[in-house]
Structure 1
Amino acid sequence: MSFHKPEVCERGKEAGRFAELGLGWLTFYPSKFQEQFLKDLANMESLGNIQWKFKKTGEISDIPNLKTKVLNALGSFDNTTNKWVAGDALNGLFNDTKAVNNIKASFGGDIENADLLINKLSGSSFDSIFEIIN
């Protein structure tokens, strides 16, 4: 299992950047995903057209399945409020001013806390930043 920093790749006529988070995984590792994803969020100045790509496996078979795994690695779903609640690691990221500024630049200035971020990820923005490849 290895992680790679985002690098330049060709996507049609546009150059894009991607992080090969799970390309070598046969199993989804929540703690490793969380560690690398949070480090990426803290260090990137803007999401731009960065995507996190995962290789299709029996365990990561489609976007809804991946979405559930990613969100559960970052927090938990509160059935009472019908919203996602960020876990401690994601909440901790919001103690770092640089990370918060980077997250706001990537996901919008209205992302004031970890709960808002995880709920934004649970929506349609997930499909634009995560991809499964064969």
Structure 2
Amino acid sequence: PDYLARQGVPEGPDDLLRHNCLLLRYPRSPEYFWVLETPAGPRKLEVAGRFDADDSDVLISWALAGRGIANIPRFLIAGDLASGALVEVLREAAPKPSIFGCLYPHRRLQDPKIRRFVDFMTDRCRGAILG
């Protein structure tokens, strides 16, 4: 929040282009972009910032330290949002939801423990997202 007090709260997606965005770096990815769901449809923004990392925990710590704006899945920061340590910006232009997948052997070759684990993680992630 102290970053926003110094720099101002973005009022629209284009305002992010003037902010220090905390960037998640994917291996071998030459670009940084965020896809936001706007009333006009998905919008890809090529954001920039002074800090990048390949670990969301690092991005969260930087956001908590007031170093910029991060695009982090809600389930990872739900407690920080609830406590007010972090604040949501651009609620009307939320990030495009992430899609998770799980690959596992066909039923004939599947260990029952794998199926139980997949079911457990599906329920756990769904509960974290829906709160």
TM-score range, shorter chain: under 0.3
As a proportion of its length, which structure holds more strand? 1
Q: Max radius of gyration: which structure?
A: 2
Q: TM-score, normalised by structure 1?
A: 0.26
